A and B are shown apart, each in its own frame.
Chain A
Amino acid sequence: MSIALEHISYIYSPGTAYEKHALKDVSFEIPQGQFLGIIGHTGSGKSTLIQHLNGLVRATSGKVVYEGDNIYDGGYDMRALRSQVGLVFQYPEYQLFEVDVISDVCFGPKNQGLSPEECERNAREALELVGFPEKYYKQSPFELSGGQKRRVAIAGVLAMKPKVLILDEPTAGLDPKGRDEILDQVEKLHTETGMTVILVSHSMEDIARYVERIIVMNRGEKMLDGTPAEVFRHYRELEEVGLAAPQVTYVMHDLRARGFDVSPDATTIEEAAEEILRSMSRSGKAAPG
């Protein structure tokens, strides 16, 4: 029960002037139920990478193994794969097209060949999962606010009942509150359903709080792979490739440099506060209440 990439390489327009290695020999395995973050800046290959996971892009070499089967084998059912590995694109609200919210969310299940009743049931479940208020089910998706549109679009993929959910920059263009709401919802989704969730982002601070593992992509290659703390330990390398660790990581390193006995592995505000207070009480010169 996992999804694995084995030596995936992808070349854009091979043999032309535009030839470009978008991905170079990328391998990793994602066990079922993991909450994974993929980080990289624009052009790092992260968006191309995730499109391999549901077969929308076919690797130039290497293979994708989903639950033990190579998806490039002849006769492999790609459409079935796409309903198992749900992919929510960046700015997914731009794919909405139906007259009302519920019909739009039904699009996926309908394509799976479910009966209208099942479609509706799955759609309602999905909308509930993303916390979309029922009173707007019959409204046109084009009249909703940005955050609500995005919920509908995510529900559109969830309604297919995927086992893996991939979200490409789900918070792009949202304001801070909207961002937190969506990410909290995704986290809740992960704990409630136990599905594998892959969060693609260029913001370390967003991701550090939620995921259990981070893969850093740079120039089409896998650069780092580990828990947030492990990854952020390489904060200097991250900076070199134009990615920054969360501000907190820097604070912790600065403090260590000034002689504080704090662990540099703290990545969230709570962890950092905890560490700082502990080190201060140990040194005994300040007494926090």
Chain B
Amino acid sequence: MIRDITIGQYYPAESRIHRLDPRVKIVCTLLFLVSLFIQNSLLGYVIATVYLGTVIRLSKVPLKYIVKGLKPIVILLLFTVAMNLFLTRSGEILVHFWIFTITEGGLRTSVFMAIRLMYLVAGSSIMTFTTSPNGLTDGMEKLLHPLNRLNVPVHEVAMMMSIALRFIPILLEETDKIMKAQQARGADFESGNIIQRAKAMVPILVPLFVSAFRRANDLAMAMESRCYHGGEGRTKMKPLRYKGRDRIAYIVTWLYIVVIFVAGRFVPFKLWIF
């Protein structure tokens, strides 16, 4: 079902992670993503797993949600695993049949790639699960503030992102409704070749665009009537100020980066896999 897409959704709860400053969460998420790429050892992944696992525990977001968030990348995941599994040729040959050869190196790369991808999505979704979209855009706005001097409309971009996030669930629901309405008129989205299927999308996309424009129009009017006139002279209901816990989070994450980097560099891989 279309409603199952959980990426970009906020999971309201009271947790230590929820309470962190959005900037901390954005920076730490980026650091975590980097950490997945600066090392490639089993020990490194164990450390990353501990870090991610702890954050998930602290966030009080049910693991089920995070796993559900992985659903949309299943195909990409399988594809990556297959490519790495069969195309990487290094180390001992483990299996060989017909034209397929699986080597030790291939197995390793594919497993690690899969973990990387999953952690990538899980890591970023934990950020969106624990940060209200407004918090997220506030954080972005503040972090990117220096770009203002280069005439980048940081506030406007942040506002647009925040609105987009608010309307994702509404438009998904609307898509679902339109699909059903067209199915009730005998539309068929399941059979036919690619061109036929693409054509079958027209009766969904046209109404969806019309509705999105109507909503955009209404929303613009509602915003103006509530005196919105850009970022100038605007105050914040929830201004961002670093607190003690934010500093702790930064320290913990930096420590994690150092540890994982060192582990990846200096502890030999072989030692850990067999």
Taking Cβ atoms with an 8 Å cutoff, the residues of A that contact B are 16-17, 51, 54, 56, 79, 82-83, 86-89, 92, 94-97, 107-108, 111-112, 142, 156-157, 160
Q: Which of A16, A92, A111 contacts B186 (CB 8 A)?
A: A111
Nearest CB in chain B: distance from A244 CB, A = 28
Residues of B within 8 A of A86 (CB): 184
Tell whether A79 pairs with B188 under 8 Å between CB atoms, given A89-B177, A97-B202, A97-B203: yes
Contact present for A107 and B180 (CB under 8 Å): no
A95 to B184: give the CA distance in the assembly, Å.
Answer: 11
Closest to B62 in A: A17
Contacts of A111 in B (CB 8 A): 185-188
Interface membership of B46, Cβ < 8 A: no
Return B2 CB to nearest CB of chain A, in Å. 13
Interface size class of B (residues with CB under 8 A): 20 to 34
Chain A residues with CB under 8 A of B186: 79, 82-83, 107-108, 111-112, 160
Name 6 A/B residue pairs within 8 A (Cβ), A-sorted.
A82-B186, A94-B211, A95-B178, A111-B187, A111-B188, A156-B185
Taking A51-B180, A56-B180 as contacts, is the C-beta distance between A107 and B207 under 8 angstroms? no
Give the residue name and chain of the B residue nearest to A80 (CB): B186
* Bound complex: CA A156 to CA B211 (Å): 19
Show the binding face of B for A, using Cβ within 8 Å: 62, 64, 174, 177-178, 180-188, 202-203, 206-207, 210-211
Output the nearest chain B residue to A18 by Cβ-Cβ distance.
B3
Assembled-state Cα–Cα distance A51/B64 (Å): 29
A94, B184: Cβ atoms under 8 Å? no
Query: B181 contacts which of A79, A95, A112, A160 (Cβ < 8 Å)?
Result: A95
Known: A79-B186, A88-B184, A89-B184. 4 other contacts (CB 8 A): A92-B181, A95-B185, A97-B210, A112-B186
- The total number of A-B Cβ pairs within 8 Å is 60
Report chain A residues within 8 Å CB of B174.
94
Note all chain B residues with C-beta closer than 8 A to A17.
62, 64
- CB distance B185 to A160 under 8 Å? yes
Specify the chain B residue showing the minimal Cβ separation from A90: B177
A97 and B184 contact, CB distance less than 8 A: no
The answer to whether B64 touches A94, judged by C-beta atoms less than 8 angstroms apart, is no
Smallest Cβ-Cβ distance to A159: which chain B residue: B185
Asked if B62 contacts A95 (CB within 8 A), the reply is: no
Contact partners of B210 in chain A: CB under 8 A: 94, 97, 142
Taken together as a complex, chains A and B put the C-alpha atoms of A156 and B186 apart, in Å, by 11
Indicate whether A82 sits within 8 Å of B182 (C-beta atoms), given known contacts A16-B64, A17-B62, A107-B203.
no
- 7 smallest CB-CB distances across A and B, nearest first, come from A111-B186, A97-B206, A95-B181, A108-B185, A87-B184, A89-B181, A97-B203
A94–B185 CB distance below 8 A: no
Q: Which residues of A contact B211 (CB under 8 A)?
A: 94
The residues of B that contact A92 with a CB separation of less than 8 Å are 181
**For the complex, what is the distance from the CA of A56 to the CA of B64, rounded to whole Å?**
28
- Most chain A C-beta atoms within 10 Å of own C-beta, residue among B174, B177, B181, B183: B181
